[in-house]
């Protein structure tokens, strides 16, 4: 069942999502070679709780793994999504996707950004640029009167034109009082198909794009999703509200990009 949100509910969603953007910026401040992903998690959890919110990922259950043990997902290099923060040390040339969720005043925030650790090769930087652009191209299609398939089609076309893989097994989603609501929002699809987009629909759009083949494997922990060919993957996510004109982006990369400065992708 799809829940359309009122303007007041959209403002509550915006507050939760802006907190995610600010949390990701705090994480951005400490990303460098030598830091562990567990240290990133600690920064995020403290910041979220200090702002009166709850990290929605912590304790989240899935049918394959136990409750998620951390406040953010940290997915390094060939890991696509749902990586568990650990004592693994980030090194120069790595990339790390940080996905963060908050619950504030009854509404969920969800946004992700893939960061470079030190100097990252041109080939992988390009993957990040194209994936981030694909997110915004998808968002351009999140307007009243279009259909869900238009979003996925636009993302898929853009990424496959660069010979990248589009992950099929994991998709974006509706968002509101629950982190995952209907509808599913695939990053692939056919133009003019799927649910009609209506004003008040709030969705998380999150392309997961691979440098090589699109196929993924599930880790033994029941959470970590990696590329089968072990080539890098990128993941960027915004929560947006459908309006009658441009999509209203409720999360924000502004805080992150203020931290990254000219190092931003």
Partner residues linked to 252 by β-bridges? none
Binding of residue 181 to Mg ion (CB under 5 A): no
Binding of residue 99 to Mg ion (CB under 5 A): yes
Binding of residue 26 to Mg ion (CB under 5 A): no
- Annotate 82-145 with DSSP letters as a single string: -PPP-SPBP-TT-EEEEEEEEEETTEEEEEEEEEE-SS--HHHHHHHHHHHHHHHHHHHT-STT
Instruction: Specify the residue, 112 or 124, whose C-beta has the smaller distance to Mg ion.
Output: 112
* DSSP H or E stretch at residue 174: strand 172-174
| Mutual angle of helices 122-140 and 148-160, in 10-degree steps | 160
Instruction: Specify the residue, 197 or 208, whose C-beta has the smaller distance to Mg ion.
Output: 208
Least Å from the CB of residue 119 to Mg ion = 27
Instruction: Specify the residue, 94 or 99, whose C-beta has the smaller distance to Mg ion.
Output: 99
Pattern of binders to Mg ion over 187-226, x per CB under 5 A?
-----------------x----------------------
Instruction: Specify the residue, 89 or 136, whose C-beta has the smaller distance to Mg ion.
Output: 136
Binding of residue 95 to Mg ion (CB under 5 A): no
Answer for the pair 239, 109: CB distance below 8 angstroms, yes or no: yes
Report 101-160 residues binding Mg ion (CB under 5 A).
Answer: 110, 112
CA distance linking residue 14 with residue 3, whole number of Å: 16
Going by C-alpha positions, the residue among 248, 139, 253 that lies closest to residue 185 is 139
Instruction: Specify the residue, 150 or 237, whose C-beta has the smaller distance to Mg ion.
Output: 237
Chain positions contacting Mg ion, by CB under 5 A = 99, 110, 112, 204, 237
């Amino acid at each position: 069942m799809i829940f359309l949100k009122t303007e007041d509910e959209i403002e509550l969603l915006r507050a939760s999502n802006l907190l995610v953007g600010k949390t990701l910026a705090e994480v951005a401040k400490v990303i460098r070679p030598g830091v562990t992903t567990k240290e990133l998690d600690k920064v995020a959890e403290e910041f979220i709780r200090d702002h009166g919110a709850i990290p929605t990922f912590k304790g989240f259950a899935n049918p394959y793994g136990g409750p998620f043990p951390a406040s953010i997902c940290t997915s390094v290099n060939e890991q696509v999504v749902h990586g568990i923060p650990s004592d693994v040390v980030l090194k120069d040339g790595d990339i790390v996707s940080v996905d963060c969720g908050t619950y504030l005043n009854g509404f969920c925030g969800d946004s992700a950004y893939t960061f470079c650790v030190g100097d990252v090769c041109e080939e992988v930087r390009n993957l990040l640029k194209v994936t981030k652009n694909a997110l915004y191209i998808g968002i351009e299609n999140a307007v009243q009167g279009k259909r869900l398939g238009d979003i996925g089609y636009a993302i898929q076309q853009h990424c496959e034109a660069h010979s990248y893989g589009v992950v099929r097994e994991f998709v974006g989603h509706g968002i509101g009082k629950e982190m995952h609501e209907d509808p599913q929002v695939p990053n692939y699809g056919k133009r003019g198909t799927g649910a009609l987009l209506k004003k008040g629909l709030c969705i998380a759009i999150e392309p997961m794009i691979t440098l090589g083949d699109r196929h993924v494997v599930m880790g033994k922990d029941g959470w970590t999703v990696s590329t089968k060919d072990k080539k890098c993957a990128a993941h960027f996510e915004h929560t947006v509200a459908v309006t009658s004109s441009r999509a209203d982006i409720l999360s924000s990369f502004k805080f992150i990009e203020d931290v990254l400065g000219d190092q931003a992708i």
